[in-house]
Amino acid sequence: MTTPKGQFSPAYFEDLEAGAAEQFDEAQQKVAGERTKFFEQLALLSGGAIILSVSLLSTLFGKVVVYGSIVLIIGWFALLAALLSSLYRALQYQLYIIEASMAHYMKTLASKKIALHQRASQGAMVVAPPDEEGRPIQRSAEELKQAAAMLYRCSEQRGKNAARLFQKVQISEKIAVHSFWIGALALALFAGYNLLKVPIGKSAVESLHLSPAKQRLISPPDRSAGFERAASCLESDRLTSLCTKQNFKPGNDPFTDIGVYEVPLPSLTQVPEGYQLEPNGKDCETAFQWANYCRINPK
């Protein structure tokens, strides 16, 4: 279209605006897709962190003393909240997309009905798609006006639903992100604190040169009372169970029989603080004696 110098045709501006709108829609779709992918990965990371920490804890259970368990529990709950919030966000976002798309579609369709209503009011003939017999159906201006009003009402209701759903999406996003960082920080603090408290890279036997203040000594049950005696009996039950499972139970050892023990009872090997004694021949024999003593002398 030829226009005077310095002027532009309306069609040029209209085409340019349409192209920019299409580019903006593509950018919005890309950002929305990347955001959805982020929260899917966040849910996977949260679940993986929980599984990894539980697996690690179950591997160490019974071998070392765990410190700061309350921090670990807080971390688990926070990561679980991040996982559930991410999944909830995905569900609500799908519903939001449906409602927002329907609101936009109905609003656009209502605008077309209004344009057809104006044409019909001016005396033009407006026809709908033909019926089953192939006859065109004429639409009156009043019918088009009512159809447009109904579509606008539905569009507004869909828009309100989309706004409520989007608000839920935003809240769930905030909960997911903050819960994930709280959970990750709690697990990091728990791991770091336990690394500082528990000696790493040394077995119980290699660490016996530590000073007595850093060693854990459980007195024999015949030379302890109250809580210490109960702890000694519990330790003997734990060790005898492990010794039996690992075949440290000698068949001809008289101490494996109920009621046989030395007087005074021998002591178990001292282990560093934070460790539990592992089954071995000497300590298994001592553990069976302690267990016999605890059965015969329950109080």
**What pLDDT was estimated at residue 182?**
93
**What pLDDT was estimated at residue 280?**
76
Encode pLDDT of 36-81 as tens digits.
Answer: 778 888 888 888 888 877 777 766 555 556 778 888 889 999 989 9
Please give the Cα distance from 212 to 270 (Å, whole number).
9
Encode pLDDT of 5-35 as tens digits.
Answer: 444 444 443 434 444 445 545 655 665 677 7
Collapsed DSSP state (helix, strand, coil) of residue 219: coil
pLDDT band at 284 (very low <50, low <70, confident <90, very high): confident
Spatial CA neighbour of 286 closest among 250, 203, 63, 60: 250
CB 233 within 8 A of CB 294: yes
Backbone angles phi, psi at 206, to 5 degrees: -70, -20
Q: In residues, how long is the chain? A: 299
**What pLDDT was estimated at residue 36?**
76
Encode pLDDT of 254-274 as tens digits.
Answer: 555 566 777 788 888 776 665
Encode pLDDT of 83-102 as tens digits.
Answer: 899 889 888 888 888 888 88
Query: Where along the chain do its domains lie?
Result: 28-113+155-197, 212-296
Query: What value does the mean pLDDT of the chain take?
Result: 75
Higher pLDDT, 246 or 81: 81
pLDDT band at 161 (very low <50, low <70, confident <90, very high): very high
Encode pLDDT of 188-211 as tens digits.
Answer: 898 888 778 755 444 433 433 333
CB 259 within 8 A of CB 292: yes
Spatial CA neighbour of 178 closest among 283, 73, 42, 289: 42
